[in-house]
Chain A
Amino acid sequence: MLEVKNARMLYGDLVAVDRLSFTIKPGDIFGLLGTNGAGKTTTFRMIMGLLEPTEGEVLYHGQHVGYHNVNEIGYMIEERSLLTKVTVKELLLYFGQLKDMEPKVILERLDYWLERFKISEYKNKKIKELSKGNQQKIQFISAIINNPKLLVLDEPFSGLDPINTELFVEVIRDFQKQGAMVVFSSHQLDHVESFCEELIVLEKGKVIIEGRIDQVKKDFKKLNVKIKGDVDPDQLRQIPGVFQVIENVNETIVKIENDDVAKRVFDYVKTCNNIMKYDVEQASLSEIFIAKVGQAHEKV
């Protein structure tokens, strides 16, 4: 279990992270979201023991994260952090042995992961000769080569195409099935929504959203009604509780305050012709994120 307890990190007068608390249990995938400079990387560095919190503590299975238990953790930083003048094999042997792994085991696992990520032919190529996407794969492999029980991933999907993103997601899910804890950050909120159960959204070091994703959505209350058919947007806007109507080519999206408003919209739609779709959905994580971060900015 990973426990972040009331962690606070100050850089001089600047509060980088303010009293952050969360717990991740084995098999959990936890999302840490926020705008640039929100405090995500500082939080990851605190988890990794690279930074000591000014106040509070970070515990991994009841112990502080240190060099005695770091071999059980896999860490992938936001920017590419690879030695570019060495080959893929040399680099993984280097990083693997820093995790106390035997060279033979590293090479066996390397072959497996290169095969799985479909880049076996690059084993003896220098890192600088690889494309950005392939470098990202190598960096991901370097984080998982030690079969970590805790996987800390800072922006693992940045720069990846949808196919490779899906490959990463599959691997992360495999680690989840094996009981590993995964904590990651991403700007691609659809990914967070698709495979993350719990999250925290940080803004300027403070928590503005936290909890299970379904609960966060439920608490947000605002809904989206998607309609396909001959509707009049102006009439929709006049319904009390409708705060926005978006006219797309194929459908009209009506943003409403709560369930009661959905009934009023439905009453109007029943009077219209050629209705092919009427769907009430919870707000997307992206919408919640924008709304909450916007509020936080307004408060500042």
Chain B
Amino acid sequence: MKKFKFLVKFGLLKRIGRKSFLIANFVIMILSIAIINMPAIISLFGDDSDQLTDITIEVSEEIGLGSLADDLSLKFNEGLPTPFYLVSSIDPNDVDVEAFWADENVDILLTFTGSTEEPVIEIYSKYPEMNGNFINQIELQLISYQLGGAYERPAFTTILAPDYEDPEAGMMIGSISSLLILPLFILVTMATQFVGVDIIEEKSTKAIETIIASVPANTHFLSKIVAAIGFVIIQGGLILFYGLLASLVAKLFESAPAVNLPQGEGSLLQYLAEILPNWPILLLMTLLFIVVGTLFYLVVAALFASMAVTQEDYQQFQSPLMLMLLGGFYIGIFAPMAGGEGFLRAMAFVPLFAPMVAPVAMAGGSMTILQGVIALIVMIAFLSVTVYFVSPVYKVAILNYDQTKFFKRIGDNFKKAFHTSKKK
């Protein structure tokens, strides 16, 4: 146990104690901030014609407050250097909802009916993400009219265009695939490289013989896997931290009125919660798939590295593994876009692709949580079988310097491991 702990510590420090780790993480941090804030950064330098320069609002009121439009204009533009909301009053008889939706010059239509004490407000909006902000501002204005009387919360109704599709929700579901898969793909690739390169470095320099003379091959094998998982957790935590940092930077851009970001109703997490009501289970399942999937790929990478003799040799050996990873990555990214729900669901049950495909399939609704649990059980069973077979082969292969062809070498190592086990 002491040697195992030492090997894990040595493996981890060797990786995260290097200058290359610090440099790589600095670059990842800068890129994370840049990518997440890309639209805002582009808007700073880009053409202003695509940006909102003002919002035109028409107010129809039947509750006898002649100055409502002017008062709302003052309220909405409060604190802004130049008026952004152009509020005008229209005659209730001129209200034509069909014409409003077709009119490109008017962005929002507010209708007030009832009385000051019991107002009924309808908000017709081409920018529904701003509704929350309007509701707050209107409510404050109405309270000021009601001062002295008993306050009754106005009844708000927001009406969207008949053909309206929430672009944020669509985009959000689409980006969940990338959000889930990309870090997972990067982390698994890094961890796989970490294990493979570490083992092949020890084997190609023959240091492995001195090491295996001191610690059992299985301890060495497990220590490499645990160190790599530790590395994934540390690196994953850092990536999460960079994401939060990038979100903080995004908040700075959000305060500019010219940038069209969701406002008022709550945080991004609340918005995500609206789109994915079962997000806590989804998050847990994703984490489980990440852990089990990473373990599976690490075990296979360790096996391939143990069979390789030189660095070049390992590059050849790891190609199938990288192709599997890449396959899962592309399925997860493109299958939801192409509407291949059935295909996505089927691939989520294939252990080689499940770690990357299943979380996306669940997030996109192609797969139920129960199906996800079944896919996870299949994955765990497959991992257990893999470890059962790989462990004795690793023991044989790690000290074997045979340089025959790829498949022959794999076959020979499995045969030797089988004979050794049989003999015992």
Contact = CB atoms under 8 A, between A and B. Distances in A.
Contacts of A67: 214-216
A145 B6 CA distance: 18
B399 A83 contact: no
A contact patch SS? loop
B215 A142 contact: no
Contacts of A82: 205, 207
Contact of B209 (A81, A83, A98): A81
B201 to A, nearest CB: 7
Q: Is the interface of B mostly helix, strand, loop or mixed?
A: helix
A260 to B, nearest CB: 51
A37 to B, nearest CB: 14
A50 B411 CA distance: 21
Contacts of B14: 86
A49 B423 CA distance: 16
A81 B210 contact: yes
Contact of B201 (A48, A50, A79, A83): A83
A261 B195 CA distance: 68
B211 interface: yes
A22 interface: no
A97 B205 contact: no
Nearest to A85: B201
B206 A98 contact: no
B2 A79 contact: no
B107 interface: no
Contacts of B399: 45, 50
A79 B206 contact: yes
Nearest to B204: A84
Nearest to B215: A98
A96 to B, nearest CB: 10
A60 interface: no
Interface in A89-112: 94-95, 97-100
Contacts of B206: 77, 79-81
Contacts, number: 58
A67 to B, nearest CB: 6
Interface in B202-225: 202, 205-216
A84 B213 CA distance: 19
A71 B3 CA distance: 12
Interface in A132-185: 142
A50 B215 CA distance: 10
B207 A83 contact: yes
A75 B201 CA distance: 20
B209 A50 contact: yes
A11 to B, nearest CB: 9
A296 interface: no
Interface string A224-248: 0000000000000000000000000
Given A50-B399, A97-B6, A84 B211 contact: no
B205 A83 contact: yes
A98 B3 contact: yes
Contact of A84 (B10, B205, B214, B216): B205
B207 A99 contact: no
**B3, B206, B207 interface centre (most CB from chain A within 10 Å):** B207
A45 B209 CA distance: 9
A70 interface: yes
B212 A81 contact: no
Contacts of B208: 81
A73 B214 CA distance: 9
A89 to B, nearest CB: 14
A81 B2 contact: no
B210 A77 contact: yes
A-B CB proximity, top 10 nearest: A81-B206, A98-B214, A81-B207, A75-B213, A83-B207, A77-B209, A48-B213, A97-B6, A81-B210, A79-B206
Interface of A: 45, 48-50, 52, 67, 70-71, 73, 75, 77, 79-86, 94-95, 97-100, 142
16 contacts: A50-B212, A50-B399, A75-B213, A77-B206, A77-B209, A79-B206, A80-B206, A82-B205, A83-B202, A98-B3, A98-B6, A98-B214, A98-B215, A99-B214, A100-B3, A142-B210
